[in-house]
Amino acid sequence: MAWRYWEHLTTTELADGACRDAVAVLPVAAVEQHGPHLPLGTDAILTDGVLDAALGRLPEAVDVLRLPTQRVGLSPEHASFPGTLTLDAETVIAQWAAIGRSVARAGIRRLVLLNGHGGQTAPVDLVALRLRSETGMTVARVTYFDLIGDDPAVDARERAFGWHGGLVETALVLAIQPGLVRRDRLGDFRSAAEDVAANHRELRVEGPAGLGWLAGDLSPSGATGNAAAATEAIGRRLLDGIAGRLATVLAELHGYAGIAR
């Protein structure tokens, strides 16, 4: 059976627990600035692209229902840049939880929250806990770029500071929607987080002792990381690795029986 779009089903096809063993996937993304070279929809485009690639790798026996992507998310740290669309935290938590409850009412017992924006991992975690508590569903939360392996193209500096519009996101857009990359505007966008790390023993912008920050605090361009080093070949390689691991997550959750006690 592999996978189906939720909105292509009929209500009778979801009645009487007919899909109770399926895994529902709710992609949650963002529409926000990504520097001068990447489109505002980068997070949504990449979340969809990664999921598309993963679904194409599923074994036929794994039943997955793809929910509509929630394209606008929580992006207040980017709000000072034109084009950013953001909801507030209370709204995204309420909206995603309401969708999850609707899925549970259809008899679905397993849900994946697939996140494509680093600024909303906390709401994703809260929604997963809320749905587990309120509905008894098994809820997995996955941020797709956490599935990137040890690709040699992503060096230590890029892993530490190339968080937004850097090599990884630029390479992935080149692999998925290359026509949307403004190649004449690529650059190595240095992050002020590098200076914080260089001048302090423990304090970091992100880390065990991290700071609240806005995108403009880190870079006047709104981007951080070496986008100029990105290539389509790197993007295809990263996409292949992420999609493979995400497909494994979906297949494993499909057969998951719960935490042993």
- The full set of domain ranges for the chain reads 3-254
| Distance (Å) of CA 249 to CA 90, 144, 155, 224, 232 | 28, 11, 26, 29, 25
The CATH code of the domain at 3-254 is 3.40.50.10310
Please, which residues have CB within 8 angstroms of residue 10's CB and are 6 or more apart in sequence?
A: none
Positive or negative: CA dihedral 152, 155, 161, 164: negative
Give dist(CA 151, CA 139) in Å, integer.
Answer: 29
Q: Residue 228 class from Cβ within 10 Å (0-12 exposed, 13-18 middle, 19+ buried)?
A: middle
Q: What is the pLDDT of residue 166?
A: 98
Give dist(CA 17, CA 204) in Å, integer.
Answer: 48
The pLDDT > 90 percentage for the chain reads 93
Write down the pTM of the prediction.
0.96
Q: What is the pLDDT of residue 187?
A: 98
Strand partners, 24: 65, 111
Give dist(CA 171, CA 163) in Å, integer.
Answer: 13
8 Å CB contact between 173 and 235: yes
Nearest to 241 by CA among 109, 150, 120: 150
* List of the chain residues with pLDDT < 50: none
Nearest to 141 by CA among 163, 116, 168: 116
Rounded to a whole number, what is the distance in angstroms from the first to the last CA of the chain? 31
Q: What is the pLDDT of residue 1?
A: 61
Q: What is the pLDDT of residue 125?
A: 98
State the Rg of the chain over Cα.
19
